[in-house]
Structure 1
């Protein structure tokens, strides 16, 4: 929804803009920027259980990090709950979206409980999806050991999403920049990074639509790098303490009482019990930590990197500060193969030039993205469609994720149940040796407007695990997109069962839907997608 309305902004007529400007006249702007005392990550220590576990996982110290893939959503949620409950010194959580749902409320309650145990809790949220959540967040922030800060916050009309759009349009240049980073650090010793936001649909707990995503649990030097990046954001000029922008007449006691009610088991039920092992044969994190000497974590060279938070101010001191630039530089080192997995994929002219260069050098390139029917940002898909034929002519292997195909695949049939299935993982595999993961989509918005966080890992074992988990050598649950015999149009070949149906139009979408999106796309600048 953010993209859909934000992208229509340039097409609004002058009278509408004038009305918005009049409505906003007299509304408060950002509060004065007063320096906050710098706050730094608490380093890992053998005085904590997680610190000791990290030492055992990284013995002998050799500059490598220990990694465990989180492919299944239920294990990803469980890992967060375990780390919160075991934390003894600090929890640093950064995310684009914290859902006002059973998952978001469950995590807030667990963070509150940790703060009451004496753990320092720092929660950093992008402010785009916090409408109506001030009371909940203030309840957490009322705890002596907990602090909540907002990235690039809204100031007016905070309670309702519909009224926030007035401020969004009135301050478009500022508010169109968002923090898309996702990072979770416990005791400075273990971290989780990848693509998941903290809401039901990212942990297979939605009855409407759920996302296929990927993350890593990490221990070792990459965690220290990640914690330093968190500090850079936490102390940046784009971040404000929650209380500075969210006023309340409630006392701390009243906020705590409301928080207790809002995060009780009725509104924040625990997740279902986990199976004994995940897709890769690994037990839940609790079992691994209980028997750390037997835990089979991957050892690899891993490095964390991110955009500067000043990207939200339109200030980038050097192109190397751009995560997108570093990502493309890494892809350019490919010698044999590149597999790109991205829910939103718009290569643009620069991306097409890179693809052409890679193919000229014999690089096998595979792109996996969402189909039009299963994208939660269909306008992005319409713009991606403009590049399909050219990519196929260059010899790119192109696949589109489809709910109907996923339900025919044994691996996802039971997982999705009645909900739609959508791709949300952001991954690249280079030469079956390097893995790039994080929050960055391959579209202009991630490259130019949003801030992003990523991890670069050199690991044959991790690459093989991903190839197995997502069946990348024999993909199922998707449509394979190919050129028609005329060489100018595309068709879709199913992979979910033995019938392998062939379609000549966008799968699972009506002509009316395609026409409406095409008309919208005429008014939407591609650089806003």
Structure 2
């Protein structure tokens, strides 16, 4: 009995907290009050980064400059180097900033930039900010820094259990999240893609790491991105941190806690990246030191959902990012290759795929296997469409840690950690690249807000095909129909044996049954 009671204690505490909250009456969102719009600081030749990108802003052809960041160490190096070199402004928007080595390091570098006189604007979705309030308050106390929260939680912020209680008592509002990822330095150089600000997105986790993608950008696409950032920063669903969080302790105590939490002991500087990345490009810090960057010139357009999507409404004439992506893919002439960690086509998606196949388009889809998905309920719902996809003639691949580790380079990067797909990409006709934060699932399409970039570039497409071996895919399972045409099997790639499996790779029957049971209670449109 004592042991059983010990296990029940956390549940009893959660119940007590919940009852106390209900008894006291949960607070609602505070009034925002009138607030003057705050806009991005335009790129200027008075800053080092502004001078470096000046040639791209001056050319009348309207083309932007882009550079792929497929490798995590180079992507983190680029972000940190830009923070350290910024002289005017840093605008950062993210779905998640974790309280780990990477997240704490980012906070420290932003604080140091603010103390140098750089205006820092940090916009976070509020879903993953549990345990961060005091650190964020310390950052926001810097005269040149401000932190704002998208669609914030109001009640029980410091405890996971009470946050969940708040979530379900205000489900209609809090179910909408800002999934965008965007970083802009001095209005000159931007980074967009799928990476959150946490260890696992930069191969720094001992548990599981993500294979992801980002794009470094300069030229006209950067002010486009800045206008989108401003639209979110000034929107009705974004609140200054201090309107939501109150700290009883003096600012000096918060600053001391911040100093300790973000010290070198807890937030070490990452190992230096290799001499060159997989595309034979040196790290950004070396190129910036020389004052010249090697870019691909391309037509690029930044696009995003309206922040008002979080209110469950869509402004008249405002298309969702998902609709724009599907329109681009529908215009394909020969082939569409989709990389999405979470993939649920739904009935509408199956209709689009069927129409594409009827026109003779080659359709390839790469997603996570069940065992290597961090959202297995999504995978269970995707499974319902596998046979139909294969019958349409879709080429279907699933990423697997065991398969990935047969590649020597990837094995050395992942070490003992699991490897999961997190990149969100679509390659259309080897001419167009669609990238950003959007997954091809109902949640991205209907509930969350997303940011993306559409690039017209054969050169960029070829670089991605090479970097991710998309013309000769290894480290994945090819999913095919069994001879009966009613079920699937998995064929290994990248080795001599090419093993064939009749059951979900690396997952137990019990796991599959549990997930199937849970999937009955979670509507597909919430995934």
**TM-score category of the 2 structures, normalised to the smaller one:** over 0.9
1:464 to 441, 462, 465: 462
TM-score (norm 2): 0.95
SS at match of 1:372: coil
Q: Structure 1 residues 22 and 100 mapped into 2: Cα distance closer, same or farther (>3 Å)?
A: closer
SS at match of 1:302: strand
* Alignment match, 2:246: 247
TM-score (norm 1): 0.95
* Alignment match, 1:98: 97
* Alignment match, 2:312: 314
1:311-361: CA deviations, max 9, x gaps? 000110246421111110010010000000000000000000000000000
* Alignment match, 2:4: none
Aligned structure 1 segments of 4 or more residues deviating by more than 4 angstroms: 19-22
The separation in 1 between residues aligned to 2:58 and 2:300, in whole angstroms, is: 16
Q: Structure 1 residues 468 and 108 mapped into 2: Cα distance closer, same or farther (>3 Å)?
A: same
Conserved? CA contact 2:308–2:315, under 8 Å: no
1:275 is displaced (CA, Å) by 1.1
The separation in 1 between residues aligned to 2:336 and 2:310, in whole angstroms, is: 30
* Alignment match, 1:349: 347
1:37 is displaced (CA, Å) by 2.2
The separation in 1 between residues aligned to 2:373 and 2:92, in whole angstroms, is: 27
* Alignment match, 1:78: 77
The separation in 2 between residues aligned to 1:24 and 1:241, in whole angstroms, is: 28
The separation in 1 between residues aligned to 2:294 and 2:268, in whole angstroms, is: 31
1:177-226: CA deviations, max 9, x gaps? 00000000000000000000000000000000000000011000000000
SS at match of 1:472: coil
The separation in 1 between residues aligned to 2:159 and 2:209, in whole angstroms, is: 25
1:455-481: CA deviations, max 9, x gaps? 000000100000001100110000000
Q: What is the aligned-residue RMSD (CA, Å)?
A: 1.3
* Alignment match, 1:9: none
Deviates more, 1:56-65 or 1:501-510: 56-65
* Alignment match, 2:210: 211
* Alignment match, 2:31: 32
Conserved? CA contact 2:130–2:158, under 8 Å: yes
* Alignment match, 2:506: 508
1:370 to 349, 368, 371: 368
* Alignment match, 1:198: 197
1:419-470: CA deviations, max 9, x gaps? 0000000000000000000000000000000000000000001000000011
* Alignment match, 2:221: 222
Conserved? CA contact 1:71–1:215, under 8 Å: yes
The separation in 2 between residues aligned to 1:486 and 1:350, in whole angstroms, is: 26
- Structure 1 regions of 5+ residues with no counterpart? 1-15
1:410 is displaced (CA, Å) by 2.5
The separation in 1 between residues aligned to 2:29 and 2:21, in whole angstroms, is: 18
Does residue 184 of structure 2 align to residue 185 of structure 1? yes
SS at match of 2:67: strand
* Alignment match, 1:450: 448
SS at match of 2:454: strand
Q: Report how many aligned residue pairs link the two structures.
A: 511
The separation in 1 between residues aligned to 2:426 and 2:227, in whole angstroms, is: 24
Conserved? CA contact 1:320–1:326, under 8 Å: no
1:36 is displaced (CA, Å) by 2.0
How do 1:67-466 and structure 2 match up within 5 A? 67-293=66-292, 295-318=293-316, 320-466=318-464
Conserved? CA contact 1:124–1:151, under 8 Å: yes
Conserved? CA contact 2:304–2:451, under 8 Å: yes
Conserved? CA contact 1:406–1:412, under 8 Å: yes
Does residue 45 of structure 2 align to residue 46 of structure 1? yes
